[in-house]
Amino acid sequence: MATQAYLKQNVIVEPLINQWYAWSYLISPATAAMLIANSHLKMMQSFVNAPQVHVSALKNPAMRGGPFLNYGPEKAGAIKTLIDDTISEQPLLLELAGAIQKFSDLLTTEANGFSLEALYQKVPEPLKGYVELVYDLNSFPSLRFIEALLYASPYFNQSSQSLCLSLSQSDERPFALSTPQVNTDGHVYLRMPFSASVLDEFFRMKVEPGALEPIKEALGVAAPDQELFESFFTTEPPPPPPARYAETPIRIRYFGHACILVETRDVAILMDPVISYQQFGGIDRYTYADLPETIDYVLITHNHQDHCMFETLLQLRHRIKQVIVPKNNGGSLADPSLKLVLQNIGFPAVREIDEMESIAVPGGAIIGLPFLGEHADLNIRTKMAYLIRLDDKSILCAADSNNLEPALYKHIHQQLGDVDVVFLGMECDGGPLSWLYGPLLTKPLARKFDQSRRLSGSDCNRGMEIVKQLRPSQVYVYAMGLEPWLTFLTSIQYTDQSRPIIESNQLVEACRSRGIISERLFGHKEIFL
């Protein structure tokens, strides 16, 4: 009989595209093209030209999230090879990026308020049939991408997708968005599409034993990697998965950052899944082992890498019945459809929800609420706060909502009434627009504008306006990027003097002074309603 083994709980599984850490904007073809051309290749060439500049920059912790590769000069050759491979393997996406830039420039000069019909003749060949030319009501021109056709085109090439496996020994990981994975000791690379069904079988082996030889063959593990791959498994069974929650009170568990699990006897709802692999550094936490075998609904608040995290989602895909995502605004370059992204990496049941729309679930409903801010004033519709109503209790997960207009919550309260629990992110500094969206810009943005337009959430005053309008009995600050197992995606490193810490402290104290239970969450928390 073949040896039955379990996948170890501390095996890190990093999804990669062109050897870069995968997130939603690397799946959608138009945004992927711009990121490869305007970010990845430029960062890698900068490193090859002057690796010591990158080494010196990263000695300053404040530069961790900047455009610097976290390698020493000895990796310059490997990065040069990756540049050459990217150029040779991605000619279509590089051509698409050039066409987007070229035609955006043309629209700026030639779309002057007259009909756009004649400009269709000037659309570059790579874009023909994939875009609509549109004005807004102030006669500003833009492209609307027909995303479903782009996914059916040669521009969506799953051969660039792969997984990198390694064993975690601590929470510390290099910042992922500015450093590609090049062959490193202790890592196994599996080149396969994220949609491959064998991945569900592989990830089940965390809790269900399986035979090693068939899974090695199905995953295409190269002969030189087989011994290392086998070291990622154990014959020792893990603790059994928890039984489905069956008590009367609603149970809420905080898993870190914006990840909240809400459970009743009838339903399990997981918000923005970002899960730690195991216990490190003395910080108590919930891990994959604390998740139920079946997750009825996963809710994604928005398209940023620390809220829609493929590394976690792919490992949970076989447990998830349905994913609920914000309704998309229809084809703008900065706002790709999250529904199409997830469907094209193998999630079969993805449903969009609109603002103030309700989806019935056992024992209650999930209601989509407007989400202002955190997107640097871009016209992003793929963002949603969620009100979860179960057993006459209500829980608001507002993610990084910035309360730019307090009247919004007045209108929401008039429609929905008081809320029992509020979870609110307060990363009130935020990076500039260019930190995340810079590669998508088709014309330069003045630094003063870039610094003004931030990816920021509410401060104390704005947060308290939400509290005053919705009148909760409990308020929790979350989604702050505080947990060390997430800094590889956020690069956030706070001190006691950091403004988000000061502002969130003030909000907690202001809530407590009103008799409201309040806390800034860290690590883990269990709440019963």
Residue span of the structural domain in which 303 resides: 251-528
**Please, which residues bridge with residue 519 across strands?**
476
pLDDT of residue 241: 84
Same domain membership, residue 306 and residue 211: no
Q: Residue 2's pLDDT is what?
A: 67
Residue 29: what residue type?
P
Residue 519: predicted pLDDT? 98
Cβ-contact 208, 319 below 8 angstroms: no
Question: How many helices and strands (H and E) does the chain possess?
Answer: 17, 23
Reported as half-sphere exposure (CB side, CA atoms, 13 A), residue 285 has a value of 24
Residues sharing a CB contact under 8 Å with residue 348, sequence separation 6 or more, in sequence order: none
**468 belongs to a structural domain:** yes
Looking at the domain assignment, is residue 367 inside a domain? yes
Q: Are residues 128 and 217 in the same domain?
A: no
DSSP 8-state assignment for residue 432: B
Same domain, 467 and 329: yes
Is 241 within the bounds of a domain?
no
pLDDT, tens digit only, all 529 positions of the chain? 467 999 999 999 999 999 999 999 999 999 999 999 999 999 999 999 999 999 999 999 888 889 999 999 999 999 999 999 999 999 999 999 999 999 999 999 999 999 999 999 999 999 999 999 999 999 999 999 999 999 999 999 999 999 999 998 888 888 999 999 998 889 999 999 999 999 999 999 999 999 999 999 999 999 999 999 999 999 999 988 889 999 999 999 999 999 999 999 999 999 999 999 987 778 999 999 999 999 999 999 999 999 999 999 999 999 999 999 999 977 999 999 999 999 999 999 999 999 999 999 999 999 999 999 999 999 999 999 999 999 999 999 999 999 999 999 999 999 999 999 999 999 999 999 999 999 999 999 999 999 999 999 999 999 999 999 999 999 999 999 999 999 899 888 899 999 999 999 999 999 999 999 999 999 999 999 9
Q: Is 242 contained in some domain?
A: no
| 185 and 278 together in one domain | no
Q: Are 37 and 12 in contact (CB under 8 A)?
A: no
Q: Is there a domain that residue 243 lies in?
A: no
259-274 in b/e burial notation, b at 16+ Cβ within 10 A?
A: bbbbbbeebbbbbbbb
Q: Which of 175, 204, 234 is the last residue of a domain?
A: 234
Same domain, 119 and 39: no
Domain boundary among 187, 204, 234: 234
Q: Assess contact for 299 and 272: CB atoms under 8 A.
A: yes
256 and 178 together in one domain: no
Domain count, the chain: 3
Q: Give yes or no: residues 331 and 218 share one domain.
A: no
Where a domain ends, among 165, 199, 234? 234
**Distance between CA atoms of 225 and 227, rounded to whole angstroms?**
6
Q: Report d(CA 391, CA 421) in Å as an integer.
A: 14
Overall pTM > 0.75: yes
State how far the Cα of 469 lies from the Cα of 409, in Å rounded to an integer: 6
Give the number of C-alpha atoms closer than 13 A to the C-alpha of residue 124, restricted to the C-beta side: 17
Are 161 and 137 within one domain?
A: no
Q: Which residue in 156, 232, 154 sits closest to 189, CA to CA?
A: 232
Q: Indicate whether 403 belongs to any domain.
A: yes
Considering the domain architecture, whether residues 288 and 401 belong to the same structural domain is answered as yes
Q: Which of 43, 428, 2, 28 is nearest to 211 (CA)?
A: 2
Residues 485, 432 contacting (CB under 8 angstroms): no
- Write the CATH number for 358: 3.60.15.10
In a domain, 382, yes or no: yes
- CA-CA distances (angstroms) from residue 365 to 181, 244, 296, 358, 368? 42, 20, 13, 6, 10
Confidence at residue 326, expressed as pLDDT on a 0 to 100 scale: 98
